[in-house]
Amino acid sequence: MTDLTLIWALILAFAVYTYVVLDGFDLGLGILYPFFPKKKDRDLMMNTVAPVWDGNETWLVLGGGGLFAAFPLAYAIILPALYPPILAMLLALVFRGVAFEFRWRATSRYGQRLWDYAFIGGSVVAAMAQGITLGAVLQGIEVDGRAYAGGWWDWLTWFTLLTGVSVVLGYALLGACWMNWKLEGDIQHRARELARGAAVLTVMGIVFVSAATPFLEQGYFERWLAWPGILEVAIVPVLVGALILGLARSLFMEGRDWLPFLLTLLLFLLCFVGLGISMWPDVVPGAVSLQDAASPRESQIFMLVGALFLIPIILAYTIYAYWVFRGKIDPEEGYH
Amino acid sequence: MDTFLGLEALVLARVQFAFTVAFHFIFPAISIGLASYLAVLNGMYLWTKDEAYLRLWRYWVKIFAIAFAMGVVSGIVMSYQFGTNWSVFSDLTGPVLGPLMAYEVLTAFFLEAGFLGIMLFGRGRVGPTLHMIATAMVAVGTAVSATWILSVNSWMQTPQGFTMNEVGQFVPESWWDVIFNPSFPYRLAHTLTAAYLTTAFIVGGVAAWHLLRGRVANLGVQTMFSMAMWMIAVTAPLQIVIGHEHGLNTLEHQPVKIMAMEGHFESHEDGVPLVLFGWPDQDAGEMHYTIEVPRVGGLILDQGWNGSMAGLDTVAAEDEPPVGIVFFAFRIMVGIGMLMLGIGIWGLIARFTGRLYDSRWLHRAALVMGPSGLVAVIAGWFTTEVGRQPWVVYGQLRTADALSPVGAEAVGASLIAFVVIYFLVFGAGVFYILRLMNHPPEPGETGLRDEAGPVRVAGLNPHQQVQETGGPRPHGGEN
């Protein structure tokens, strides 16, 4: 019983992580749009993700759907508790998603500007809302019986604003590293400069959030700072430090343009592991454990058969799709 | 009880769901049909090497891309709305419905999304066979997605294969029974056929528009019209048969819904009339201004000339659906279905008398009927969903008991946000689609941006790659 629930927690964590890094970099492009005011640059940026963004966003549906299926109680508690940020995220993703198509269909300069703003606003708001959601779950949700029992603005605290801003910065870093990888010439150069700035700010975000987390709840404090457990968990911040050094180095080196992107993915992975250490074994921290929220065994088994068979296939054709559109996009060759 | 503009959270949440699902449903209805149409066009082009098919593919792929994007973003909203507004429903049905939706994501959404990029932008990069496979995968994905979500919806209409646990959750007992619940095959066939029919009318309407504007020199337009009229001639009568079978299934499993659809407030002992029109008065429990045909209702519902049927007078008031909405929505759907059949027959006659491309009245009718499928689809959706009320899981869980612990202000404010933003965003999308449709397919029709200009890929340009993989030479100036 425990094992199945654990497997589902891992599958879900995998889906959410994959979503965060994949949609993270394409949301990051929207966040970086204001730094690239020229239409030609913006066209290029969008073209680097146009063939893959839809697949990236599908991981969000798997994350939500997977939570509904594997931990329905958690889904039923977390979503009403985060009503405003989740609504904001959904509506922001509406704007951003259609901007991919509408931007090319608008014939007037004004229309194109409008969809550029939709793309920027949608990306920033979606990223911010996701960060707030993360922070709100981490800071705890008031539960009574099988339902959310708090107010409508409980999610809004300085901590959730901090996690919100940190996620926006982190996505900007991912986006800048992606551009550094997929583009060349002037635009790559500017992306690399932006990546350095975003890296500094993201690291600050990680430091602040990590410093604040142990004080949110007694359980977090004990897990991170009590002796002798600290010896085990300290490996995470040590690895984060090493990765940050590597990332800094890679952002100042020429060549190996894929390296900063890869290192940023690993940095996100470590943050994710840290999050898991904080929350384990709860899904709604301090209120509902993974075990309590889990679907009946019949549901878990039925889905597991499909997930273990299908997720590798999905990864295979997703990688294939990325491979088809591999390599740098030449800025001299206009599309439109 | 707190209210927003005098409305309770329950009402607002239902309006919000109805609004967002009705808006969403338009786009999959189009993309299911168009994806298959694109796969057929691509296949025809590869088989016949006739440029007209490629031209049509490039013409419709642009419209498909817009419709698909709108379907995706409005669909993401749906997938989270179960949790925001209907959290008790989510908690209780999650163990049964969650896995079905997870399978939809794993088998359909990823398939569509993964191959969409290759389909839209990859013609110059992967060679014709792989590109054809990608196009087919997108089409398969849309149909598989419909299969799962209709299994979910059908289970809510005709639930089976479950037990209840101690906290009141539905726990699956037999997945076979859950998925293949009694109304599922009928609903799936009815909805998929509706999607194909809807698309056929849109394609036919666009072709008719260009034929009326005298754009006959363009061979693509005639091909488009001919293909659409074939599709209508086949699917319109088929849909009426399927719809009839679906109705009989509903009579067996959800008789109250049929009572509302047919406007039977009273029970009939000897012969069931067919109510053609009337004005339902639910409070008084009777129809006003009724026009009816004696005994034919019983014949249609397989009850025979002297058949009997219970009416809403046998149902407790708190178990009655809102009769007016169901009654009229059903009539709109059936009425459009009959008109569609008329167009199908007319098209066949025009074809066999050699007037398919000359009959201006047929073209005008096809143009007017262009968007009719969308209206019918939404009317049908209202018939089946409102007809299920007051239950969200028929006979098991009341809609009123499924609501989140939400305040009316929160639901009301978000409803207003949805209405404003959907009209703005999707209004723009419809505008762009109509503008694309207003131009006929051109001899030098370009596809999406990739096909307009080459992209260098890691030292290998698409032209070389296509030639190296044995594909056809790129067409002049287009790749």
pLDDT in tens, A42-63: 988 998 898 899 999 999 999 9
Is any Cβ of chain A less than 8 angstroms from the Cβ of B418? Answer: yes
pLDDT of residue A224: 83
Closest CA to A172 of A151, A153, A194, A157: A194
Residue that the structure tokens 């290029």 belong to: A44
Smallest CA–CA distance, residue B381 to chain A, in Å, is 23
Alpha-carbon span B81 to B100, nearest angstrom: 17
Q: Which residues of B touch A104 (CB under 8 A)?
A: 448-449
Q: Which amino acid appears at position B437 of this protein? A: M
pLDDT of residue A233: 84
pLDDT of residue B193: 96
8-state DSSP, B440: P
More confident: A267 or B462: A267
Alpha-carbon span B315 to B317, nearest angstrom: 6
Nearest to A327 among B79, B120, B458 (CB): B458
- Cβ within 8 Å of A, B 152-181: 165, 167, 169, 171-173, 175
Closest CA to A240 of A203, A212, A200: A203
pLDDT of residue B294: 79
Q: Which residues neighbour B237 within 8 Å (Cβ) at sequence distance 6 or greater?
A: B341, B344
Alpha-carbon span B248 to B186, nearest angstrom: 10
If one counts every other C-beta atom within 10 angstroms of the C-beta of residue A158, the result is: 8
Q: Which residues of B touch A12 (CB under 8 A)?
A: none
Suggest the residue from A61, A137, A182, A283 to mutate for an interface test with chain B (most B CBs closer than 10 A): A61
pLDDT category of residue B446 using cuts at 50, 70 and 90: confident
Query: How far is the first Cα of chain B from the last one, in angstroms, to the nearest whole number?
Result: 63
Is any Cβ of chain A less than 8 angstroms from the Cβ of B216? Answer: no
Secondary structure E strands in B70-178: 162-164, 170-172
Q: Is the pLDDT of residue B460 over 70?
A: no
Give the range among A261-275, B431-445, B449-463 with minimum mean pLDDT. B449-463
pLDDT category of residue B187 using cuts at 50, 70 and 90: very high
Is any Cβ of chain A less than 8 angstroms from the Cβ of B104? Answer: yes
In chain B, which residue's Cα lies nearest the Cα of A311?
B106
Q: What is the pLDDT of residues B241-300, one digit of tens each?
A: 999 999 999 999 999 999 999 888 888 888 888 888 888 888 888 888 888 887 888 888
Q: Is the pLDDT of residue B451 over 70?
A: no
pLDDT of residue B377: 95
pLDDT of residue A330: 66
Alpha-carbon span B143 to B153, nearest angstrom: 15
Q: Is the pLDDT of residue B471 over 60?
A: no
Nearest to B406 among A50, A83, A324 (CB): A83
Burial class of residue B456 in the structure, from the number of CB atoms within 10 Å of its CB (0-12 exposed, 13-18 middle, 19+ buried)? middle
Strand partners, A288: A284
Q: What is the CA angle B278-B279-B285, rounded to 5?
A: 110
pLDDT of residue B479: 30
DSSP labels, B238-250: HHHHHHHHHHHHH
pLDDT category of residue B190 using cuts at 50, 70 and 90: very high
More confident: A108 or B385: B385
pLDDT of residue A63: 92
pLDDT of residue B182: 95
Residue that the structure tokens 């959310």 belong to: A148
HSE-up of residue B468 (Cα within 13 Å, Cβ side): 8
Do the beta carbons of residue A80 and residue B83 sit within 8 Å? yes
Q: Is the pLDDT of residue A126 over 70?
A: yes
Where b means 16+ CB within 10 Å and e means fewer, B350-371 reads bbeeeebbebeebbebbbebbe
Cross-chain Cβ contact A296/B77 below 8 Å: no
Residue B104: phi, psi to the nearest 5?
Answer: -60, -45
If one counts every other C-beta atom within 10 angstroms of the C-beta of residue B401, the result is: 15
Do the beta carbons of residue B320 and residue B312 sit within 8 Å? yes
Do the beta carbons of residue A295 and residue B98 sit within 8 Å? yes
Smallest CA–CA distance, residue A322 to chain B, in Å, is 9
Alpha-carbon span B113 to B106, nearest angstrom: 11
pLDDT category of residue B115 using cuts at 50, 70 and 90: very high
Q: Is the pLDDT of residue B464 over 90?
A: no
Cis ω before A228 (30° cut-off from 0): yes
Alpha-carbon span B371 to B381, nearest angstrom: 16
Q: Which residues of A touch B113 (CB under 8 A)?
A: 54-55, 57-58
Give the range among A20-29, B258-267, B356-365 with minimum mean pLDDT. B258-267
Q: Which residues of A touch B70 (CB under 8 A)?
A: 98
Q: Is the pLDDT of residue A335 over 70?
A: no
Secondary structure E strands in B317-450: 391-393, 397-398
Q: Is the pLDDT of residue A67 over 60?
A: yes
pLDDT of residue A119: 95
Chain A and chain B share a number of CB contacts under 8 A equal to 263
Average pLDDT in chain A? 90
Q: Which residues neighbour A305 within 8 Å (Cβ) at sequence distance 6 or greater?
A: none
Smallest CA–CA distance, residue B423 to chain A, in Å, is 12
pLDDT category of residue A17 using cuts at 50, 70 and 90: very high
Closest CA to A33 of A202, A154, A172, A146: A172
pLDDT of residue A2: 59
Instruction: Dig out the tokens for B262 from the structure.
Output: 């047919």
CA dihedral B196, B198, B199, B201 (to 10 degrees): 120
Q: What is the pLDDT of residues B161-185, one digit of tens each?
A: 999 999 899 999 999 999 999 999 9
Do the beta carbons of residue A23 and residue A63 sit within 8 Å? no
Q: What is the mean pLDDT of residues B8-23?
A: 92
Do the beta carbons of residue B368 and residue B206 sit within 8 Å? no
Q: Is the pLDDT of residue B450 over 70?
A: no
ipTM of the assembly?
A: 0.91
Alpha-carbon span B378 to B330, nearest angstrom: 10
Strand partners, B274: B293
Do the beta carbons of residue B170 and residue B393 sit within 8 Å? yes
Radius of gyration of chain B (CA): 24
The whole-angstrom distance between residue B204's C-alpha and the CA centroid of its chain comes to 17
Q: Is the pLDDT of residue B468 over 60?
A: no
pLDDT category of residue B469 using cuts at 50, 70 and 90: very low
Smallest CA–CA distance, residue A238 to chain B, in Å, is 36
In chain B, which residue's Cα lies nearest the Cα of A153?
B410
Alpha-carbon span B312 to B335, nearest angstrom: 24
Cross-chain Cβ contact B106/A310 below 8 Å: yes
Q: What is the pLDDT of residues B286-337, one digit of tens each?
A: 888 888 887 888 888 888 788 888 888 888 888 999 999 999 999 999 999 9
pLDDT of residue B212: 92
Q: Is the pLDDT of residue B397 over 90?
A: yes
Q: What is the mean pLDDT of residues A6-15?
A: 92
pLDDT of residue B461: 40
Closest CA to A150 of A162, A138, A136: A136
Q: What is the pTM of this model?
A: 0.90
Pairs from B241-248 (Cβ < 8 Å, separation ≥ 24): B242/B186, B242/B189, B242/B190, B242/B193, B243/B190, B243/B334, B243/B337, B244/B300, B245/B186, B246/B183, B246/B186, B246/B187, B246/B189, B246/B190, B247/B300, B247/B301, B248/B301, B248/B302
Cross-chain Cβ contact A336/B449 below 8 Å: yes
pLDDT category of residue A225 using cuts at 50, 70 and 90: confident
Secondary structure E strands in B386-477: 391-393, 397-398
More confident: B273 or A299: A299
Is any Cβ of chain A less than 8 angstroms from the Cβ of B430? Answer: no
pLDDT of residue B24: 92
Alpha-carbon span B419 to B27, nearest angstrom: 17
- Cα separations in angstroms, A101 against A4, A92, B79, B120, B449: 41, 15, 22, 12, 11
Instruction: Dig out the tokens for A46 from the structure.
Output: 């969008």
8-state DSSP, B460: B
Do the beta carbons of residue A176 and residue A190 sit within 8 Å? no
Give the range among A76-80, A283-287, B468-472 with minimum mean pLDDT. B468-472
pLDDT category of residue B153 using cuts at 50, 70 and 90: very high
Closest CA to B31 of B415, B429, B438, B443: B429
Instruction: Dig out the tokens for A251 from the structure.
Output: 């952002």
Q: Which residues of A touch B469 (CB under 8 A)?
A: none
Q: Which residues neighbour A197 within 8 Å (Cβ) at sequence distance 6 or greater?
A: none
Nearest to A105 among B165, B406, B432 (CB): B432
Q: Which residues of B touch A83 (CB under 8 A)?
A: 84, 406, 410, 414
Give the range among A289-293, B247-251, B294-298, B385-389 with minimum mean pLDDT. B294-298
Cross-chain Cβ contact A324/B117 below 8 Å: yes
Smallest CA–CA distance, residue A216 to chain B, in Å, is 25
Q: Is the pLDDT of residue B474 over 50?
A: no
Would the CA dihedral through B71, B147, B85, A141 be positive or negative?
negative
Instruction: Dig out the tokens for B256 from the structure.
Output: 């109250």
Average pLDDT in chain B? 88
Residue that the structure tokens 């079905």 belong to: B100
Q: Is the pLDDT of residue A327 over 90?
A: no
Cross-chain Cβ contact B118/A80 below 8 Å: no
Closest CA to B354 of B192, B476, B166, B222: B222
pLDDT of residue A331: 59
Cross-chain Cβ contact B432/A102 below 8 Å: yes
For chain A, helix (H) and strand (E) counts, in that order, are 14, 4
Suggest the residue from B20, B21, B30, B76 to mutate for an interface test with chain A (most A CBs closer than 10 A): B76
